[in-house]
Structure 1
Amino acid sequence: MRPVRLLVVTAVAAERDAAAAGLDPITAPAPQPLPGYALLRIGGGPSPGRLRADLLAGGAGPGAAGAAAGTALTAAALRHEPYDLAVAAGIAGGFAPRAPIGSVVVADRVLAADLGADSPDGFLSIESLGFGTTVHRCAPHLGKSVARALGAVHAPVLTVSTATGTAERADALRAVHTDAAAEAMEGFAVAEAAATHATPFLEIRTISNPVGPRDRSAWRVPEALAALRDAFGALRTVLEKGATPPYA
């Protein structure tokens, strides 16, 4: 039986390395060729086990994340080794009280919260303009299993191009997306890339700060990175011992 092929896309190296430490706390990831990027691999050697994970710090924001994920997914397809699952991951802001600092969120769907156009009557989504979609649903059964294993909130995660820094903006997002648990900047873009390859998708976020007024002194980044490491340890257990592809 071949190993499960997993792609993990984060914004920055610290998030990538936390995920890697959770997936394999002993073996250092091995660099892999990928034009324009530093791709790291766990597993895939002579005795790969049940999981082979490629990890990629693609950059902050939807543009960088979409380009990185698309490059990795296309390269894998050209090798005739498509991924079984793509995961956008990292730390994020949480909507209190649903996702407090230190909690874990597994998305049931990802939403592009600011993709569209402004107008005198308010915000117009890209869907209302007839140009695309603002929602991607995550692998449902796997998402529930992973959320249960992590003790995580299973709810929507918003993707924004400009991180929220005021109470007014946080309230405006809550008013539209009443069930959202977290805000980040990459998930929707990775989901778009995964959808073009018919690759199932998840987003996993650990909460370092509340969505609202920007106060770096209140952020708990080390704790959120440690939670991300632990979350990927639990994800590995789910993938190796429980769920099997296809995940859609």
Structure 2
Amino acid sequence: MVLQAQEGRLTTSSVRVLVATAVPAERDAVARAFAGPVDEVRLPGVSLHRTAGRYDLLAAGVGPALAAASTATALTAAALAGAPYGLVVSAGIAGGFPPDAPVGSLVVADEITAADLGAETAEGFLPVTELGFGTVTHRPPPALVRDLTAALDARAGVVLTVSTVTGSAERAALLRARHPRALAEAMEGFGVAEAAAAHGTPVLEIRAVSNPVGPRDRAAWRIGDALAALTEGFAGLAPVLEKWNPHDR
């Protein structure tokens, strides 16, 4: 992979990376990390923003189902065109579990876990895997997580995917008890990872913390700061990918 510096930003010349965010504001924050123009590429049902560095940015939608469907569309289109992606990144802002993931920090998932995919029983929650089918966790490439965490001064840990955002201290404590290594909670990572896995493509999840997981106090949210941290995170991604061996899973 050849890196080129343009106006203080980094672009990559050979790797193809699909970045899936939930909403356009997150997609645009990622785009600000890269030099050059952004071109719109329309596909059936989705629209990509293609950077000069050959990063394709997708506002995939909110929630794991829509994120999975949109990501799968982009992955399939690339494969049919004979130019498959080498990496998929789920990215955006998230709630962080205090005190380990404070507001403004970056989190890189070493596990992407569906926190509420399963069944409630008299004995408590059972993940779908304990019911005898499915999966609840995807693991990004360990070497890439390690190097990226060091480069970004980020924290590595479990990022939970939920279909309902936590709004109480009780549920935050319950999730943390089930997942002691959880650092952040978001709504799309597992869906993106499922689509990537179907194509045999490695996946990352990068989250910038905008608020604590727990009671929803919108006045305490720092969305602007989190989006700025997301931009800086992606500015540091390209040099890490230069050294990454895609065959090191």
Shift of 1:243: 2.1
- Find the aligned partners of 1:123 and 1:144 in 2 and give their Cα distance: 31
1:1-248 correspondence runs (5 A): 3-22=14-33, 24=34, 26-43=35-52, 51-240=53-242, 242-248=243-249
Shift of 1:89: 0.2
Q: Which amino acid aligns with 2:77?
A: A
Cα offsets for 1:157-181 (capped at 9, x unmatched): 0000000000000000011100111
Which range is displaced more, 193-202 or 121-130? 121-130
- Find the aligned partners of 1:237 and 1:228 in 2 and give their Cα distance: 16
Identity score, percent: 58
Q: Indicate if the aligned counterparts of 1:4 and 1:245 stay in contact, CA closer than 8 A.
A: no
- Find the aligned partners of 2:32 and 2:85 in 1 and give their Cα distance: 20
Q: Indicate if the aligned counterparts of 1:84 and 1:247 stay in contact, CA closer than 8 A.
A: no
- Find the aligned partners of 1:28 and 1:102 in 2 and give their Cα distance: 28
SS in 2 for 1:148: helix
- Find the aligned partners of 2:245 and 2:117 in 1 and give their Cα distance: 34
SS in 2 for 1:192: helix
Shift of 1:29: 1.0
Structure 2: tracts of 5 or more residues without a match: 2-12
Cα offsets for 1:8-60 (capped at 9, x unmatched): 000000000111111x1x423101121111211012xxxxxxx4110000111
- Find the aligned partners of 1:76 and 1:152 in 2 and give their Cα distance: 30
Structure 1: tracts of 5 or more residues without a match: 44-50
Structure 1 segments of 4+ aligned residues over 6 angstroms from their partners: none
Structure with higher strand content: 2
Cα offsets for 1:79-119 (capped at 9, x unmatched): 11110100000000000111000100000011100001112
Q: Indicate if the aligned counterparts of 1:200 and 1:247 stay in contact, CA closer than 8 A.
A: no
Shift of 1:122: 1.2
Q: Which amino acid aligns with 2:234?
A: F
SS in 1 for 2:227: helix
- Give 1:47's aligned residue: none
- Find the aligned partners of 2:123 and 2:246 in 1 and give their Cα distance: 45
* Structure-1-length-normalised TM-score: 0.93
Q: Indicate if the aligned counterparts of 1:91 and 1:224 stay in contact, CA closer than 8 A.
A: yes
- Find the aligned partners of 1:127 and 1:245 in 2 and give their Cα distance: 28
CA separation of 1:247 and 1:64: change in aligned 2, threshold 3 A: farther
- Find the aligned partners of 2:155 and 2:110 in 1 and give their Cα distance: 9
* Structure-2-length-normalised TM-score: 0.93
- Find the aligned partners of 2:19 and 2:48 in 1 and give their Cα distance: 10
Shift of 1:246: 3.4
Q: Indicate if the aligned counterparts of 1:85 and 1:247 stay in contact, CA closer than 8 A.
A: no
Q: How many residues align?
A: 238
Shift of 1:120: 1.9
SS in 1 for 2:111: strand
SS in 2 for 1:9: strand
